[in-house]
Amino acid sequence: MTTFDELLAEGAAVPTEGWDFSWFAGRASEERPPWGYAGLVAQRSGSARAMLDVQTGGAEVLAQIPHVPPLLRATESWPPNLDLARPRLTALGGQVVQVEDTEPLPFDDGTFDLVVSRHPTVVLWEEIARVLRPGGTYLSQQVGKASVHELSEAMLGDFEPSDGRSPERAVAAAEGAGLRVRDLQTARLRMTFNDIAAVVHFLRKVIWIVPGFTVEAYRPQLELLHERIQAEGPFVAHSTRFLIEAGR
């Protein structure tokens, strides 16, 4: 049987760049939202003339679109993700621009008729509205309130989750920027972690669940959770997601 320390080392060694979660196969699972975000983006790209993917990660979603608009751009802030995204965008005839998530978008007013974003860390709604053409669409899948809160509490203790990521706040912010919300869907999705290596890799990859997480700092909590998994089976948590579509 693999030891606790061996599992910690395994989870700590997995690269974290990009949004490819294939390493978790057999070790962790998460229900998918019912709306099928990647499929929606692929469908919308077919009629777009100019498309922007904000905080593209490794451009995993754009790599799946069957029709490439004449103008295709993406933004990303993290250098390891840029290394993944650049060849994918180049192959599509597009371009990825390095820009911090909290900085203005480096594009002219009214450039895009479709702006998309999956799990943005922050949404600059005024910037989204500015770069959209009249009649344009913003389509985004976002992390909701109290996502994976059970795991946060296992590491940090009991606390009340912030409502900063609530869909209601997103709607208010979109409307405040002059956009009209056309669709809003929410989902609460079951997650399971089969071993502590999966927990460690997840917390290293999804850094907002336990800000500042390191194996060394949270070793006691990880050991308790490891013992719980050994005794009771997979640790169950729930992610929250919402899909928002807004337009000018």
Q: Per residue in 173-223, pLDDT tens?
A: 999 999 999 999 999 999 999 999 999 999 999 999 999 999 999 999 999
pTM, rounded to two decimals: 0.93
d(CA 239, CA 8): 23
- Assign 108 a pLDDT band (cuts: 50, 70, 90): very high
- Assign 15 a pLDDT band (cuts: 50, 70, 90): very high
Q: Read off the DSSP letter of residue 105.
A: P
Q: Is the pLDDT of residue 1 over 90?
A: no
Closest CA to 114 of 151, 67, 150: 67
Burial class, 91, CB count within 10 angstroms (exposed 0-12 / middle 13-18 / buried 19+):
exposed
